[in-house]
Chain A
Amino acid sequence: MSDIRPRLRAFVLEELIYCENPDVFSNEQDLLEAGLDSLGIMRLIMFAEREFGVTLPDTEIEPEMVRNFNALTRWIESHRQ
């Protein structure tokens, strides 16, 4: 379970959002405010489904679920067997 957050961080901060100093980007910091857009969210969900073997239902896709790394991790964990 503990591997989810660092892998999410690596993907988002290397592929989706530019951050001058990724190490200081906290797990509570707002990803939407940092520039994560709709297609980025879609790529993030596809990444999570592929990497963690989960299915994240469309009906649950709300801004609160992808707001920050902690929220994202909780959402993915709730669907992990």
Chain B
Amino acid sequence: MAETGGCFPAVVDLNEVDHFLLQLDHTMGQGPGRANVCTFVVTLRGHLALETLRRRIEADPAYRWLTRLRLSGGLLRRGRWREDGRAGLPALRVRLSETDEGVPPSLLATELDVRRESPLKIDLLHQGKECSRLIFTWHHALMDAHGGEFLIRHLGTGQARSPFLRQPPCPSPLSWRQRGEIAREMKTDLYETAKPPLLVLHRKERPAGALRYQVMRFSSRETRMIEGRARAHGAAFLTSAFYLAAAACALATLKRRRGDTLEDVLVPVPQDRRRRGAAGPIIGNQVSFLFYRIPAGALGDLARCTAEVVAQTRAFIRSGMTDRYLVMMGLLRYLPGPLYRALLRSPTQGEMGSCFLSDTGEILGGCKSLFGHEVLEAVHYPPNIHPPGLTFVFGRFRGALQVTLASMGGVVDVHESECLLAALRRNLLGEVGDAL
């Protein structure tokens, strides 16, 4: 049973996926770009006063507890969130902008020192009198995208019912020996699936460059067309399989433009393990991963590529990959950090994948207003590990598909990232789609 607000533990152990994301954070912190931090931007109609926002969230016990958590351990010993009762609440930062120029890049580059500061920060951006943007930034080892949405929905709607806060760890029904056997099999599968050569767009001789975000939006009509094309290409109701196939083919298009040889595409895809319709839990990542390997030979044919992804999805579910992966991660977390991180990169010899991709589903589904203001827009800006330095996030806002592409300037330049999005759009919509 999940814990609810009003029952706030002083210490929370990181689960196996939180630990994995913390190790990625360590790797990212030593490399270029941003650490493993998630950003979610919600655009509201009208002017949301800072005082209104402050009053609402600072009175919330869940917010007060969560922002007082500090990370301890995690690198050489087990990671934990510990409540620091003496810590003050984080400052709410407000910025003014006369023009509606989008979200300033500096607000999408907020860093979090979670050993000393709150793992959640909120910025408020006033753009003219027409709209206010709320920029929520949190550490990925604290919660995933859906957990973040649940928290924001709780804070912004003032719902009386406390949110599920976390899923307390439950002992595995499997013996150590059984878990060891499953982990060994999973490791063998993973090494087989992820072995190089892989299609990658980064070049070893070039520095990673700056992180850039681009958001591509589709109308509701176009979204219905894409769903129709997904079915026509054999994805049936698995629209996200079609998204993955379209993204893989777009990577191949760019690779061909460079005159490079095509290799297999490897994409780790997170899967939310929450039961649908549930309002939580909030903290602790509730995902597992599926590892898709799409053969180079399928990358020129969207239907073949889609069929490959659908077939692999079926095979993963039959073999219980999401559960097996978690068993392996649960055992790995007892390793010291340096060894753990070396093992993470080992199957791909450091490449990690061709790109990362996720489908967040309906964003803020059914939520029409927050803090008393109509919600006009909501966008996830994901972390982006280098290599591969490319992350796609698909999501639907009020039934309309949108795609966020996070890329490093040294992996794809501005022109190439536009080509990548144009190829993705063409694959999703077909040639009849509206111009980019």
Interface residues of A (CB under 8 A from B): 15-19, 34-43, 46, 50, 58, 61, 63
- Identify which of residues 305-344 in chain B touch chain A, using a CB-to-CB cut-off of 8 Å: 313-314, 317-318
| Nearest-Cβ distance from residue A49 to partner chain B, whole angstroms | 9
Tell me whether B275 and A46 are in contact (CB under 8 A): no
**Closest B residue, CB atoms, query A60:** B236
30 residue pairs of the A-B complex, CB under 8 angstroms, read A15-B275, A16-B275, A16-B276, A17-B275, A17-B276, A17-B277, A18-B276, A18-B278, A19-B277, A34-B277, A35-B276, A37-B276, A37-B361, A38-B238, A38-B239, A38-B240, A39-B271, A39-B313, A39-B317, A40-B276, A42-B238, A43-B317, A46-B317, A46-B318, A50-B318, A58-B234, A58-B236, A61-B236, A61-B237, A63-B237
Supply 9 further A-B pairs (C-beta < 8 A) apart from A35-B275, A42-B313.
A17-B277, A18-B274, A18-B275, A38-B240, A39-B271, A40-B276, A46-B317, A58-B236, A61-B236
How far does the alpha carbon of A15 sit from the alpha carbon of B314 in the complex, in Å? 17
- Of the candidates A18, A34, A36, the one having the most CB atoms from chain B within 10 angstroms of its own CB is A18
By a CB distance below 8 angstroms, the chain A residues around B238 are 38-39, 42
- Docked complex Cα distance between A40 and B278 (Å): 14
- Which residues of B, 271-315, contact A by the 8 Å Cβ criterion? 271, 274-278, 313-314
Q: How far is the CB of A6 from chain B (nearest CB, A)?
A: 19
Q: How far is the CB of A32 from chain B (nearest CB, A)?
A: 9
Contacts of B278 in A (CB 8 A): 18
B314–A46 contact, CB under 8 A? yes
Compute how far the CA of A19 lies from the CA of B234 in the bound complex, rounded to whole angstroms. Answer: 31
Determine the chain A residues whose CB is within 8 A of the CB of B276 once the complex forms: 16-18, 34-37, 40
A46 to B314 Cα, complex, angstroms: 8
Q: With the chains together, A59 CA to B392 CA distance in Å?
A: 30
> Chain B residue with minimal CB distance to A18?
B278
Asked whether B317 lies within 8 Å of A35 as measured between CB atoms, the reply is no
User: Which residue of chain B has its CB nearest to the CB of A46?
Assistant: B317
Q: How far is the CB of B294 from chain A (nearest CB, A)?
A: 18
Q: Could you tell me the distance in whole angstroms from the C-beta of B189 to the nearest C-beta in chain A?
A: 18
Query: With a CB–CB cut-off of 8 A, which chain A residues contact B314?
Result: 42, 46
Are the CB atoms of B237 and A38 closer together than 8 Å? yes
CA distance A19 to B236 in the complex (A): 26
Q: With A18-B276, A34-B276 in contact, do A41 and B318 touch (Cβ < 8 Å)?
A: no
**Residue-wise interface mask of B (72-90) relative to A, using a CB-CB cutoff of 8 A (1 in contact, 0 not):** 0000000000000000000
Q: How far is the CB of B347 from chain A (nearest CB, A)?
A: 24
Q: Which of A17, A34, A42 lies at the interface centre, i.e. has the most chain B CB atoms within 10 A of its CB?
A: A42
Minimal beta-carbon separation of A25 from chain B (angstroms): 11
> In the complex, A15 Cα to B317 Cα: how many Å?
13
Cα(A45)–Cα(B358), bound, Å = 23
